[in-house]
């Protein structure tokens, strides 16, 4: 036997023995399984605890040498449930997001006695076999953010109180929020999406000269933003914009790709400012006097929230860079997440209830992508692109307030190479051209209605 391999094998055995000595078990990761593969007693527990919730992940694993089943699920109202179940059907661990009405009376009474009236934001039940059940409750009262840990019998185990601030909110969202807070009384249109919107939509070119003097359109795009961040904006912030008529959504295909994730929404929801915003703190008073562009507190952004770049990136001019980018388009990994598509559809419905129209478009990618196996460098295959376009066109036909434009068209669009700053971001020249195209479409809808446009 090779001496090098034998040395490696012995070292590996020693490491395993050390791990066993310290932990009593060795776990190399669970195995994904189907519900039909679990014992009936475990399945009974799963069905009883989850009811109509959708299972996102089910694994068989080892915990201290014993078989356990880890279940991750989500309810229809997007609340998470995590269970660890023993082979005999006993729940070993549980973590469950709840509504206020699901809390035990003793817990509700404890909160009321401690702080009086209280706005509940996030509630989570945590249970571990052999330990007491604990409810973690986050919410607020006035300008205070309060977090409780309360036992099932109403005993307050911990209470943390702090004043609202925005230090824990992402810089990009914080800056956009400040613009929104200042301009909400006059805004008619808000553009949302990732960096392809942040750098590719220049809202000063919506609505003509009046908008350039008194901003009525705002770019709320943010680099790396996924669907969940736009869900936050539409659900929790658009209600504070009384004159809102349009949401323009740059729907990059990756937001529907199961293999793409974004955690920027988590940064926002953990912020005490966001929790206060949900309760309407500071948002009820609307400025009745129009705010001119030169008076907007915009920090590093334009008064319209645009953060575009000039010219063409020097690196992208080189032949090597262009070849490397085309090489990135040869292999893709894409799976359309129908669950995310349902969330997207729910946002259309919510806006319809508020009398707001949505224009969704697929942002343009550099013409280098034409005829390549993937339509972008996020791994969107041509087949996946066609599937997504078909789904969005179906929503266009279904909802009177929803419009879809396939601007990118697999790279065969109206934008020229010198209107791109790099492979997937327009420069200021391209942003103006794209914005004027979208503005023309919106103007036609506003004047002629959906069927004619």
65: phi > 0 → left, psi -120 to 50 → alpha, else beta; which?
A: left
3-state SS assignment for residue 9:
helix
Residue pair 441/251 in contact (Cβ under 8 Å)? The answer is no
pLDDT of residue 371: 93
3-state SS assignment for residue 390:
helix
Q: How many residues belong to the chain?
A: 453
The predicted model gives 149-167 an average pLDDT of: 80
Summarize pLDDT for 55-85 with one digit per residue, the tens.
988 999 988 889 999 999 988 877 899 999 9
Question: What share of the chain in percent tops pLDDT 70?
Answer: 88
**What phi and psi values does residue 243 have, to the nearest 5 degrees?**
-100, 10
Residue owning tokens 């805004």: 187
Question: In angstroms, what is the C-alpha Rg of the chain?
Answer: 26
> How does residue 3 score in pLDDT terms, banded at 50, 70 and 90?
very low
Tell me the domains of the chain and their CATH numbers.
25-96 (3.10.450.360), 99-163 (3.10.450.40), 171-448 (3.40.50.1110)
Residue 263 has pLDDT above 80, yes or no: no
Nearest-angstrom CA–CA distance, 441 and 255: 24
pLDDT of residue 163: 67
> How does residue 300 score in pLDDT terms, banded at 50, 70 and 90?
low
Summarize pLDDT for 213-243 with one digit per residue, the tens.
999 999 999 888 889 999 999 999 999 999 9
> How does residue 45 score in pLDDT terms, banded at 50, 70 and 90?
very high
Give all strands of the β-sheet with 246-250 in edge-to-edge order. 217-219, 189-193, 246-250, 357-361, 402-405
């Amino acid at each position: 036997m090779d001496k090098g391999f034998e040395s490696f094998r012995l070292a590996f055995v020693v490491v395993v023995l050390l791990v066993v000595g310290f932990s009593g078990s060795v776990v190399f990761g669970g195995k994904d399984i189907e519900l039909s593969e679990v014992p009936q007693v475990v399945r009974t527990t799963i069905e009883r605890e989850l009811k109509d919730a959708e299972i996102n992940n089910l694994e068989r694993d080892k915990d201290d040498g014993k078989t356990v089943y880890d279940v991750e699920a989500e309810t229809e109202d997007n609340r998470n449930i995590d269970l660890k179940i023993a082979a005999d059907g006993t729940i070993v661990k549980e973590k469950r997001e709840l509504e206020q009405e699901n809390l035990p009376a003793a817990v509700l009474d404890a909160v009321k006695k401690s702080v009086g009236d209280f706005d509940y934001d996030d509630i989570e039940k945590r249970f571990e076999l052999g330990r007491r059940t604990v409810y973690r409750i986050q919410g607020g009262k006035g300008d205070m953010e309060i977090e409780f840990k309360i036992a099932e019998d109403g005993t307050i185990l911990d209470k943390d109180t702090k004043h609202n601030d925005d230090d824990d909110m992402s810089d990009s969202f914080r800056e956009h929020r400040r613009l929104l807070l200042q301009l909400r009384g006059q805004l008619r249109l808000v553009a949302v999406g990732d960096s392809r919107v942040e750098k590719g939509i220049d809202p000063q070119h919506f609505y003509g000269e009046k908008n350039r003097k008194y901003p009525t359109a705002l770019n709320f795009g943010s680099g790396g933003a996924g669907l969940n961040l736009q869900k936050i904006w539409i659900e929790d912030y658009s209600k504070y914009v009384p004159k809102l008529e349009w949401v323009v959504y740059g729907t990059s295909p990756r937001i529907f790709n199961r293999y793409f994730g974004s955690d920027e929404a988590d940064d926002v929801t953990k912020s005490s400012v966001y929790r206060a915003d949900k309760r309407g703190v500071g948002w009820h008073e609307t400025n009745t006097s129009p705010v001119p562009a030169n008076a907007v507190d915009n920090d590093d952004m334009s008064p319209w929230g645009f953060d575009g770049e000039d010219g063409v990136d020097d690196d992208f001019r080189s032949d090597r860079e262009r070849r490397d980018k085309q090489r990135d388009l040869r292999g893709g990994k894409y799976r359309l997440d129908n669950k995310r598509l349902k969330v997207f559809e729910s946002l259309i419905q919510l806006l319809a209830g508020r009398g707001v129209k949505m224009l969704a478009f697929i942002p343009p990618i550099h013409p280098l992508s034409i005829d390549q196996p993937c339509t972008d460098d996020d791994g969107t295959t041509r087949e996946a692109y066609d599937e997504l376009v078909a789904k969005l066109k179906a929503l266009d036909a279904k909802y009177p307030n929803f419009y879809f434009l396939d601007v990118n068209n697999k790279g065969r669009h109206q934008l020229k190479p010198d209107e791109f700053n790099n492979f997937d971001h327009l420069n200021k020249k391209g942003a103006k051209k794209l914005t004027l195209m979208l503005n023309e479409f919106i103007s036609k809808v506003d004047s002629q209605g959906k069927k004619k446009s």
